[in-house]
Amino acid sequence: MTNALSTPSPEIQKEEKALVPLLSVQGIYKSLGGKLILDDISFDLEKGQLKVLIGPSGSGKSTLLQCIHFLNPPDCGDVILDGKSAREMSRKNICSFRQEIGMIFQDFNLFDHLSAKDNVAIAPRKVKGLTKAQAYERALLELNRVGLSDKADHYPAQLSGGQKQRVSIARALAMDPKIMLLDEPTSALDPELIGEVLNVIADLAKGGMTMLMVTHQIGFARHLTNEIIFMEDGRVVEQGSPELLLDEYVNSRTALFCSRLTELTGR
């Protein structure tokens, strides 16, 4: 006789699948130059969430993003994306794994000799095998998405810092990432240009893009993120919703840090 309890019903299986996070960071350790930079970092990121990493300089935030992307593989621990373990992958498969993660850097990393359109189109052509026409069509679509359709033929030297960062976001989007990692995307921008980049990120969040972002933009973190992860000395010190960690009546390490940062920056 068949055991009715041996196999979950389709409804239960569907519910269990929905509970599996898109990204799971599990026990990440990383040392550089003999110094422990990341000390047992673990958290999950659900599909469609925007989480923010906040903390003092040197707390390991940027290194953590590099470990998640396997630009700088962790010494110990694992990164599981959509059920696939990076630790268990071959070097060849790691390249495919990284293609599913869009990475936005502080300093844009655009090719100076290529136009905005070519910067966005190059990876779909070289990596995904699109034809030139297909890659250009996708590039124009993504440039329009970030409000730069009129700058497609401009070179990086002809663009403002905010425009360069939006091109880099369009370039990442053109690869159809499952998740976006943003490493202080506004830190290299003049104050008047920060808003245009944050508006693009906010639109992506509202559209359901899953993102993990390092930032010191406290107002943005307060109003648009699902959860704040506060890091210090390579560890996660606090983790919770903006309401939980940033309320003026809450005595949290995150609130204290953010209040001092706001006093210094006026934001």
The enclosing domain of 248 has a CATH number of 3.40.50.300
Mean pLDDT, range 246-259, rounded to an integer: 82
Angle between helix axes 116-126 and 161-173 (nearest 10 degrees) is: 20
Confidence (pLDDT) at 219: 87
Please tell me the distance from the alpha carbon of residue 49 to that of residue 224, in angstroms, as a whole number.
10
pLDDT in tens, 143-188: 999 999 999 999 999 999 999 999 999 999 999 999 999 999 998 8
> Tokens standing for 99?
């293609």
Question: Over the stretch 52-88, which tens digit does the pLDDT of each residue have?
Answer: 999 999 999 999 999 999 999 999 999 999 999 998 8
Specify the pTM: 0.88
87, 132: one domain: no
Between CA 51 and CA 241 the distance in angstroms is 9
Tokens at residue 123, please?
């990876």
141, 159, 177 - which closes a domain: 177
* Pair 58, 147 in one domain: no
Same domain, 183 and 173: no
- Asked if 248 and 188 sit in the same domain, the reply is yes
> Total domain count for the chain?
2
The average pLDDT across 34-46 equals 97
Look at residue 21 and tell me if it is in a domain. Answer: no
**Burial level of 244, CB count in 10 A (0-12/13-18/19+)?**
middle
* Six token digits for residue 40: 């047992």
Mean pLDDT in the chain?
89
The answer as to whether 2 is a domain residue is no
CA–CA dist 154, 182 (Å, integer):
24
pLDDT, position 6 = 43
| Largest pairwise CA distance in the chain | 74
Q: Is 18 within the bounds of a domain?
A: no
Q: Using one digit for the tens of pLDDT, what is the confidence trace for 83-137? A: 999 988 887 789 889 999 999 998 899 999 999 999 999 999 999 999 999 999 9
Tell me what pLDDT residue 158 has.
97
3-state SS, residue 80: strand
Do both 85 and 199 map to the same domain? Answer: yes
Q: What are the CB-based long-range contacts (under 8 Å, 24+) for 144-152? A: 145/170, 145/173, 146/170, 146/173, 146/200, 147/196, 147/200, 148/116, 151/116, 152/115, 152/116, 152/117
Q: Has residue 245 got a pLDDT over 80? A: yes
Same structural domain, 167 and 185: no
130 and 191 co-located in one domain: no
| Residue 197 belongs to domain spanning | 36-100+178-267
Residue 187 and residue 68 share a domain: yes
51 with 90, same domain: the answer is yes
